[in-house]
Amino acid sequence: MKETLSSTLENKNSKLDILKVRADFPLIAKNKVIYLDNAATTQKPKTVIQALTNFYENSNANIHRGVYRLSEEATEAYESIRKKVARFVGAQNGASSIVFTRNATEAVNLVAYAWGEKFINAGDEIILTEMEHHSNIVPWQLLTQRKKAKVKYVPYDPGTGKPQWEALSSLMTERTKLVAFTHVSNSLGTINPVQEVIRSIRKLGSPKILIDGAQGVPHLPAHVDDWGCDFLVFSAHKMLGPTGIGVLWAKKEILEAMEPFLGGGDMIKEVSLETARWNDVPWKFEAGTPNVADVIAFGPAIDYLEKIGLAAIGRHEQELTRYALGRLEQTPGITLYGTKTAEERCGVVSFNIQGVHPHDSGTLLARENIAVRVGHHCNMPLMKKLGIMGTTRASFYLYNTLEEVDALIRAIPKIQKIFS
């Protein structure tokens, strides 16, 4: 049974050799846990782990400072990742538009302070969707509270599992200064048609547009130049990279117009006792010693994704999602959330076992060595709209298998029996 399922997968997607992929991830290769919580964070390939060790064992030095060889090499390695990241998200010659932060959340906050403080005024409006992660809601609430501005929401439609984009035309006014929305919903997996939505926003006005790519960039090709958005944020740890690294990409002229975020070393050209002159972008936004080692170890994560290819990864995730949705639909006593078809989602199935609180499901699945996320997934407004306290979410990535989906499905009747 095991071989049959895996080999079907291999035949259909000749590029993705699942057993070989699994062997590249030390934690996955141990087969100790069925890891279905990739929307929270992903496992790391050997090459990423080795890059970290290698940096500390052979290359450790501060960057942009030393005149000695080691420091120059560390600087070069760090800056080369900026180029790699820019290319990965479709920003030609965009290295100077890539700012490294701690995570996607910090990148949103950076925009809310460094851009928002300067360009948002009393009475202005920011439009979000009801499916945003808290990290793409709370920074805007804080900003609009400071500025006496307003947040408005594109409603989520539980019937289709998508935001009601047509509401944009009535929500947008000339006071709308920013529209910020997620490429992919973390709790439901819904894929938003970024290009189309940006086009309709541009037809209605000229607000800045921020894309939350935390769940999109790891799975779907990003094309910031073609999309024509103004900001893109994402986190390395959700795309095989280390924790502690986030990315803000923004149009260069916008970065240049923005005020600094944090003040300190590295972000200045010269400092007198009274004042300072800011460094060029992107360094203007990277005050203090950055997370050099983790940025450098982010490189092999992108290399790995490019080697396998987002197209092959996407096909594999589609296969897992379609299979999981089909099996869940056939399982009695299950409520499914989100879009009807696998094609409209990105590697996520979100459900509840009727009569069982998601935290009880999660604990009972943990007992079967299945790691899923349960609860509100940092989407409390969305859960409220769905009238639930939370869901059980399985989220897939390139190393997951159909057998792992089977294990999840097999555990459900056991849980139902306990609660019957």
Partner 1 sequence: MGEEDLYRDIILDHFKNPRNKGAVADPDIKVTGANPFCGDEIEITLKIQNNRAETLGINAQGCAISQASTSMMSEALQGKQLNEIKDAIAFFRDQMLSQQTKDWPPQMEDLESLEGVKQYPVRVKCALLAWNTLAEGIKEFQAQGNQKVAARHVEGEQ
Ligand X SMILES: Cc1ncc(COP(=O)(O)O)c(C=O)c1O
Which among 222, 378, 383, 398 is annotated as catalytic? 378
Q: Determine, following the binding rule CB under 8 A, whether residue 116 of this chain makes contact with partner 1.
A: no
Q: Which of residues 377-406 bind ligand X (CB under 6 A)?
A: 378
Residue choice 172, 214, 372, 386 for contact with ligand X (CB under 6 A): 214
Residue 415 and residue 370: Cα distance in Å, rounded? 13
CA distance 398 to 396: 7
Residue 214 contact partner, candidates ligand X, partner 1, none, CB within 5 to 8 A by sort of partner? ligand X
Nearer to ligand X, 152 or 238 (CB): 238
* Residue type for position 238: K
CB of 243 to partner 1, least distance (A): 18
Shortest distance (Å) from residue 380 CB to partner 1:
7
Place of tokens 């599992």: 161
The nearest distance, CB 216 to ligand X, in angstroms, is 8
Q: State which of positions 310-369 bind partner 1 (CB under 8 A).
A: 356-360, 363-364, 366-367
Q: Could you say which of ligand X, partner 1, none residue 192 binds, taking C-beta under 5 to 8 angstroms by partner kind? A: none
Provide, rounded to whole angstroms, the least separation between the CB of residue 134 and partner 1.
11
For the CB of residue 234, give the shortest distance to ligand X in the complex, in Å.
8
- Judge whether 268 and 276 are in contact, CB under 8 Å: yes
Written as six digits, the tokens of 359 are 């935290």
Given a contact cutoff of 8 angstroms between Cβ atoms, the answer to whether 317 and 397 are in contact is: yes
Other Cβ atoms closer than 10 A to 93: 11
| Cβ closest to partner 1, residue 194 vs residue 415 | 415
- Clarify whether 229 is annotated catalytic: no
363 binds, among partner 1, ligand X, none (CB under 5 to 8 A by kind): partner 1
Taking residues 375 to 414 in sequence order and writing x for each that binds partner 1 by CB under 8 A, - otherwise, the string is: xx---x--x----xxx------------------------
Site for ligand X in 27-66 (CB under 6 A): 39
Question: Measured between alpha carbons, how far is 25 from 39 in angstroms, rounded to an integer?
Answer: 17
Contact characters 120-159, ligand X, x per CB under 6 A: -------------x-xx-----------------------
Q: Does 346 bind ligand X (CB under 6 A)?
A: no
The CB density around residue 196, as the number of other CB atoms within 10 Å, is: 10
Q: Which of 42, 43, 103, 321 binds ligand X (CB under 6 A)?
A: 103
Binding of ligand X by 215 (CB under 6 A):
yes
Min. distance of Cβ 40 from ligand X in angstroms?
6
> For residue 249, what are its two tokens?
């990409």
Compute the least distance from the CB of residue 277 to partner 1, in Å: 41
The stretch near ligand X (CB under 6 A) out of 55-63, 103-111, 257-265, 298-306 is 103-111
Residue 418 binds which entry of partner 1, ligand X, none, with Cβ cut-offs from 5 to 8 Å by kind? Answer: partner 1
Binding site for ligand X (CB under 6 A): 39, 103-105, 133, 135-136, 182, 186, 212, 214-215, 235, 246, 378
| Residues that are catalytic | 378
Binding site for partner 1 (CB under 8 A): 356-360, 363-364, 366-367, 375-376, 380, 383, 388-390, 418-419
